[in-house]
Amino acid sequence: MSAPTPRRALLAEATARLREAGVASPEHDAAELLAHVLGTTRGRLVLLDEVAPAAVEEYAALVARRAAREPLQHLTGSAWFRHVELAVGPGVFVPRPETELLAGWAIERATAVAEAGRTPVVVDLCTGSGAIAKALADEVPQAQVHAVELDEAAHRWAERNLAGTGVDLRQGDLATAFDDLAGAVDVVVCNPPYIPLEAWESVAPEARDHDPHLALFSGDDGLEAMRVLERRAALLLRPGGEVGAEHADVQGTSAPAVFTATGRWTEVRDHPDLAGRARFVTARLAR
């Protein structure tokens, strides 16, 4: 019978393997996977000196899959986004921490509407896993939150994540969604696809090989979906309503230009992420 393996040695070996495979956060991911196998949290791993043989075997299999660049969240089956937990896996875009800033902006704008004495109406286009919509429902419970997703597999994940939240989830195209809300929406928020097709090789394997391509790529310049979003937001928003959309860090000028070029918007601004990179654009529909 095999003897237990010291936790420190197990983590050190896994970290080294993940680092060699090019994983961006090898220490974090090695610890998260071990915590997942042991049914505990990363912070409580220090309380364990040794790991039983059966758990070591299960852990080794997960580390091998992560070393092959399968997303960490696919291996654990969940991802945290602001204050909510999401079920994720093959077929849906894994929400990124930087998108929490865009969600926070939408939450602030919806809260401002509520404080003014109205029920906020918010639309999340390209909802994917339902991350932004679920965060909105969680943090602004008085809001009417609507969400749409085109991809069938991603829509099934959103159904699972948004069950019981009160969010009106639909399956459809952002270009034609929510005709029934035309002119009545306070906030439109969207994390659209924004990677140029020519940038295929530069995309991290976790995204390129595992996230749905519908959620990643958007024409030759990466702004095809942004232009569709601009038109749809102009239709959905009430005068003075606001739109916010994530974009690639190299689109800090070109993404806002999509809005300024039409003459329909005021207060067009770009916002950085925590690393100081251009991350999302906001604009207000002219009255």
Residues annotated in the binding site, as ranges?
Answer: 149, 191-194
Nearest to 109 by CA among 255, 15, 244: 244
CB distance 169 to 150 below 8 Å: no
Q: Smallest Cα–Cα separation from 79: which of 129, 141, 148, 19?
A: 129
Residues annotated in the binding site for substrate, as ranges? 191-194
Q: Which residues are annotated as a binding site for S-adenosyl-L-methionine?
A: 149, 191
CA–CA distances in Å: residue 265 to residues 95, 232, 239, 240: 28, 13, 10, 9
Task: Return d(Cα 22, Cα 5) in angstroms, integer.
Answer: 25
Residue 53, number of CB atoms within 10 A of its CB: 12
Distances (CA, A) of 83 to 96, 104, 107, 136, 139: 14, 11, 12, 10, 8
Residues 6+ apart with CB under 8 A from 176: none
Containing 227, the helix (H) or strand (E) segment is helix 224-236
DSSP state string for 186-207 = EEEEE----B-GGGGGGS-HHH
